[in-house]
Amino acid sequence: MGKKLRLTTAQALVKFLNQQYIHVDGRETPFVEGIFTVFGHGNVLGIGQALEQDAGHLKVFQGKNEQGMAHAAIAYAKEKLRQKIFAVSTSSGPGSANLVTAAATALANNLPVLFLAADTFATRQPDPVLQQLEQEYSIAVTTNDALLPVSRYWDRVTRPEQLMSSLLRGFEVLTDPVKSGPVTICISQDVEGEAFDFAESFFQKRVHYVDRLQPSERELEAAERLIRSSRKPLILVGGGVKYSEAREELSAFSKEFGIPLVETQAGKSAVESTFANNLGGMGITGTLAANKAAKMADLVIGIGTRYTDFATSSKTAFDFENTKFLNINVSRMQAYKLDGLQVVADAKVALSKLHDRLRGYISEFGPIIPELKTEWNTERERLGRIEFKRSGFAPEIKGHFTQETMNEYADALGTEMAQTTALIAINDSIDKDSIIVSSAGSLPGDLQRLWTAEVANTYHLEYGYSCMGYEICGALGIKLAHPDREVYSIVGDGSFLMLHSELITAIQYDHKINILLFDNSGFGCINNLQMDHGSGSYHCEFRTKDNRIMNIDYAKIAEAYGAKVYRANTAQELKTALEDAKKQTTSTLIDMKVLPKTMTDGYDSWWHVGVAEVSDKESIQRAYQRKVEMLKKSKPY
């Protein structure tokens, strides 16, 4: 049966990772770029030994927190359009438990990442080994079972030879645009070091071909008919457009047929914001332009989108009585959404084939598109010039805080800067090809509305899971994918506190990231949510026991790690800091104190959240009634 190579399981694993290639549009490239590790007793002597002996082309990085390094890996794969990945190696027990949040983040976003989670002993000899859980109902259960529901593919390797079938199954999933997501392979810690005579053929170069999924003639005919019968079609641009690299086809299609584009968080910057037909983000965190266009549309062409509640304003964004849906998606499951006509195909191919068939068609949106765009640009300009006043100030989020409380914040944080003003100043100052990243809090909403991405693929939002802590760790992954570009992490104080571990990794390995920290001393957006729904301000502001607003010197924290830091509490200070930060070779952090309630509010949108049906507060009862009324107007499924 051919030549054998005597290797440990971990050595075989590393050798295999070095031989995986992906083939897309005639380009063939190595698929696994490297591996992040936090070593513990579960992996240091197995995978650690194998990497030390011969890592091959794999770049090895020491992470600081398993979730953090996994976020970096996920962000890397997203930037590489799922055509290159990092693996992540953890120890058993708490090390792998720390992966659960990151695995869910990858799963929600359909992003490939290989998790190599060490497991308890296959022999069970040192039972229980340190960090092993003991369940009375089963000795077979380990912490790694918690990764099963958050993995696209999950396996447990308890004998060396199982590695072969496990990896082949795993790489099929990692390289499939439809199934793409986290692949978790748990390897018993004793098995990592056990030797086996592996067939040499297993380590031959293996190419994973990703062919573009073609639409059928039937699908194209039906789609053509539907578009031709529509007067005002609208294209909802999802993340699938980016992965399909369909920017040119989409712009040409939109331009020729006069069809406006609106974007999801994942789809934003697939086509640059300055494109004449691009009306920007749609839905709960969308622009007025996009949300108005959505109401006018009689056909929504969803391309590479999952139609989440944010993109659809909890199924109230469209005129569901009269609007039809046409869904172009590689995933049949996604193409079924909202009872749409399904074109189960790659976006780039489907758009170019439909383009040929639709010649002569023109939508009736015509001058409405520039009108909506101009109206929104005027609003955006206003939001960029918000000035705080000590009396009579009406912030964007109205009716929550009194002027007295706003003044208290201004004094406690030593600032008068509004969040929208700061964000637009940043947008105006940084290089156009820089990449920004964010994921949770009030900033994603502001960004989806206000950020002008003049260069395609420069907007990186993790909003499938909206996981606090992704912002900074993700920035490292983006920098690894684009070492020649500036990367800016746009992050709230709450998210910074949740997780910023890989800032240290970025500093350690000289991969410069820039952190733009918006400190409003609290979980601002959740405070808005509770107060919008009739509750008081309850445990969302960062106040001490004696009710003082906390003012934390975040710059000092980052400085201690070795970052170059700035404090900026006016738009001018911010611009000066940004200019200086560009000149630095090390990572930077700009600590901005911003006033609460100065983020953007909703624009013709509604979010369905759980509200107490009975309560002792009239304001909550009113909020519940509002919800009941809104639900009457929403599509029920």
Ligand X SMILES: O=C1C[C@@H](O)[C@H](O)[C@@H](O)C1=O
Ligand Y SMILES: Cc1ncc(C[n+]2csc(CCOP(=O)(O)OP(=O)(O)O)c2C)c(N)n1
- List of residues contacting ligand X (CB under 6 A): 440-441, 444, 466, 525
Residues sharing a CB contact under 8 Å with residue 146, sequence separation 6 or more, in sequence order? 96, 97, 100
Which of 63, 170, 258, 441 touches ligand Y by CB under 6 A?
Answer: 441
- Whether omega for the bond prior to residue 128 falls within 30 degrees of 0, making it cis, is yes
Which of 175, 254, 291, 495 touches ligand Y by CB under 6 A?
Answer: 495
Nearest residue to ligand X, using CB? 440
**493 is an annotated ligand-binding site residue:** yes
467 binds ligand Y (CB under 6 A): yes
Binding mask 475-504 for Mg ion (x = CB under 5 A): -----------------xxx----------
CB of 519 to Mg ion, least distance (A): 7
Stretch that binds ligand Y, among 206-214, 420-428, 491-499, 548-556 (CB under 6 A): 491-499
Given the complex with ligand X, which of 38 and 440 has the nearer CB atom? 440
442 binds ligand Y (CB under 6 A): yes
Measured distance CA(420)–CA(405) in Å, rounded = 19
Q: Which two tokens stand for residue 369?
A: 């598109």
CB of 513 to ligand Y, least distance (A): 17
518 close to 591: Cβ distance less than 8 angstroms: no
445 binds Mg ion (CB under 5 A): no
Which of 34, 215, 302, 524 touches Mg ion by CB under 5 A?
Answer: 524
CB of 528 to ligand X, least distance (A): 8
Given the complex with ligand X, which of 144 and 439 has the nearer CB atom? 439
43 binds Mg ion (CB under 5 A): no
User: Which residues sit opposite 371 in a β-bridge?
Assistant: none
Q: Is 319 helix (H, G, I), strand (E, B) or coil?
A: coil
CB of 440 to ligand X, least distance (A): 3
Measured distance CA(290)–CA(267) in Å, rounded = 14
Residue 579: DSSP 8-state: H
**197 is an annotated ligand-binding site residue:** no
Angle, CA of 13, 504 and 443, to the nearest 5°: 105
**618 is an annotated ligand-binding site residue:** no
Q: Is 606 helix (H, G, I), strand (E, B) or coil?
A: coil
Q: Is 531 helix (H, G, I), strand (E, B) or coil?
A: helix
3-state secondary structure 131-174: CCCCECCECCCCHHHHHHHHCCEEEEECCCCHHHHHHHHHHHHH
Q: Are strands 182-188 and 27-30 parallel, antiparallel or unpaired?
A: unpaired
For 259, other C-beta atoms within 10 Å of its C-beta total 25
Nearest residue to ligand Y, using CB? 492
Which of 186, 294, 468, 472 touches ligand Y by CB under 6 A?
Answer: 468
Q: Which does 77 bind (CB under 5 to 8 A by kind): ligand X, ligand Y, Mg ion, none?
A: none
CB of 443 to ligand X, least distance (A): 8
- As a whole number of Å, the CA-based R_g of the chain is 25
The binding site for ligand Y (CB under 6 A) comprises: 440-443, 466-469, 492-495, 498, 518, 520, 522-526
Q: Annotated binding residues for thiamine diphosphate, as ranges?
A: 66
